[in-house]
Amino acid sequence: MMTTLPGALRAAAESHGEKVFLHCQSESGPVAVTFGDLAERSRAVAAGLLGRGIGPGDRIALAAPNQAEWLDVFFGATRIGAVVVSLNVRYRERELGHMLNQSGARLVITSAMAGDTDLAAFYAGFRDQVPGVEQVLFLGGQEPETGYQVLPADPGDPALAARLDDLEAAVTAASPAMILYTSGTTGTPKGAVLTHGSLLGAAAAQVAHLATTSDDVYVGVLPLNHVGGITCTVAAALLSCSTVALEPAFSPRGMLAAIAAHRVTVVPGVPTMWTLMLADETFAATDTGSVRLAVIGGSNADPTLCAAITRAFPAARLRNLYGLSEVSGACVISAADDDLDTVSRSIGVPLPGIRTRVADLAGVPAAPGQEGELQVAGPGTAAGYWEMPAESAETFLPGGWVATGDMAVLEPDGHVILRGRRKEMFVQGGYNVYPVEVENLLAAHPAVAMVAGIGVPDPVLGEVGRYYVVTRAGQSVTAAELTEFCRARLADYKVPRQFVFASDLPMTPAGKIAKAALRESPGSAAAS
């Protein structure tokens, strides 16, 4: 297996140079980028970075939608041993200030516009808050001195070409490739350091488990600044020489149109994406018959949604995928022969080369069948959090183990049953409650489209469950009705005490429900 990103790209360009790697959008319309094209484009970017004083170990920040230039910069930077700090284009002062300063980024490459926001104007007033940033270049910017078009350079000069070759040869599997800030569903983001080896190790394990080949076509709607986009989609497709239909951002109709236009065979998405896509009025008229793998990951996959996906894609095999930034991508996926019931109740089995165990709160490995924190070890393990040794020691444990923060049970056959986030668990009247179990039940109610639960303080019981509910279009339900629905199906201590009805739920950039934002907002609870 290739152990560096430039090595993997070079191998793909040599074996499948004329094959289309990326179908994507540009300002002038659709663009097809071959493996050979990306190799050439990224080498020109690498030359341009050297010309701007960027070298091995330097951090450059990248904030843009899914587009070819994003990957030009990513592969260009990794060719010379520079490290990409992956950011979401929607980040603003608070997030950017923390991430740019904490990572020590010297160069920022960002979209010139984000919706109606002029980012060139934003950075003009923001630069004094990030003193370490020496340069900002804008994708789509019109100013000659700050437009991205000034970055790529001709690498043909013999001395420059030799320098590029030497730097690429010096990159190893252990070299940092990316600092990816965790999505922050429960707290302040930390910068996971993903290496060349960890990214490719995670991608190779996924390819082996899903048996994807050069005949496959992924739809790329998961953001490239997250492992769902860069590892589970792009790096996996690179290793199998598959094609990616890259969408700038998720929209139900855009995703459906890409599936039909490019005869997509692999559809990765988080639950909210699947929910919105299946509910879109154009779904019934879209040809989705090419899809053979429907992959749901990123957060809990409730049984109702799993059943709906299976009905909507009868020719596809549904696979649950579990992963996290700290392991560079996926580490557990449903087995090839798992039926709907197994996919609905389990996140799957460890990928090739991945070890799993559960440990009690003291860190002692639990007995088989006993609940504990899920810990994993394998080729995707990140190199800790950027310049955060104490936090790294809490998550990255001796022996290569990673503490996931998720509570789970291991079955004798290797399947992993996820109970919920350790930090999301709350204690109501002395009993442990995992919101995910209640969320799964509420999602089965015909009027409920999305739901998220948290524990909130209570003067008598210590904590009680508050559940935020988004109803389906044209449907309505009361707090009393949902309470009775749960009371008939759950132990009494798990029954929600509060409901908040909302038009939508806050999302992280990766498409997960941002429970940290729910905790910060008191809401208007309808007590049961």
Looking at the chain, which residues constitute the CATH 3.30.300.30 domain(s)?
A: 426-527
Name the CATH superfamily, with its identifier, for domain 426-527: ANL, C-terminal domain (3.30.300.30)
Q: Which DSSP string corresponds to 107-168?
A: EEEEESEETTEEHHHHHHHHGGG-TT--EEEEET---TTTBGGGS---TTSHHHHHHHHHHH
pLDDT above 90: percentage of residues in the chain: 75
CATH 3.40.50.12780 in the chain: give the residue spans. Answer: 5-19+35-181, 199-419
pLDDT at residue 524 is higher than 60: no
- pLDDT at residue 525 greater than cutoff 80: no
For the segment 183-199, the average pLDDT, to the nearest whole number, is: 80
The pLDDT tens digits for 43-72 are 999 999 999 999 999 999 999 999 999 999
- Confidence class of residue 292 from pLDDT cuts 50, 70 and 90? very high
Average pLDDT of the residues in 317-338: 96
CA distance 279 to 261: 20
Confidence of residue 526 (pLDDT cuts 50, 70, 90): low
Neighbour-count burial for 50-73, b at 16+ CB within 10 Å, e otherwise: bebebeeebbbbbbbbbbbbbbbb
Is residue 187 over pLDDT 70?
Answer: no
Contact 510, 228 (CB under 8 A): yes
pTM across the whole model: 0.86
SS3 content of the chain, % helix, strand, coil (to 5): 35, 30, 35
pLDDT band at 500 (very low <50, low <70, confident <90, very high): very high
Lowest-confidence segment of 201-215, 330-344, 451-465 by average pLDDT: 451-465
As a whole number, mean pLDDT of residues 234-261 equals 97
Question: Mean pLDDT throughout 91-108?
Answer: 93
Superfamily of structural domain 5-19+35-181: ANL, N-terminal domain (3.40.50.12780)
Question: How many Cα atoms sit within 13 Å of 389 on the Cβ side?
Answer: 0
pLDDT, residue 144, reads 85
Beta carbons of 358 and 367 less than 8 angstroms apart: no
Pick the CATH number of 199-419 from 3.40.50.12780, 3.40.640.10, 1.10.3300.10, 3.40.50.1860: 3.40.50.12780
Confidence of residue 514 (pLDDT cuts 50, 70, 90): confident
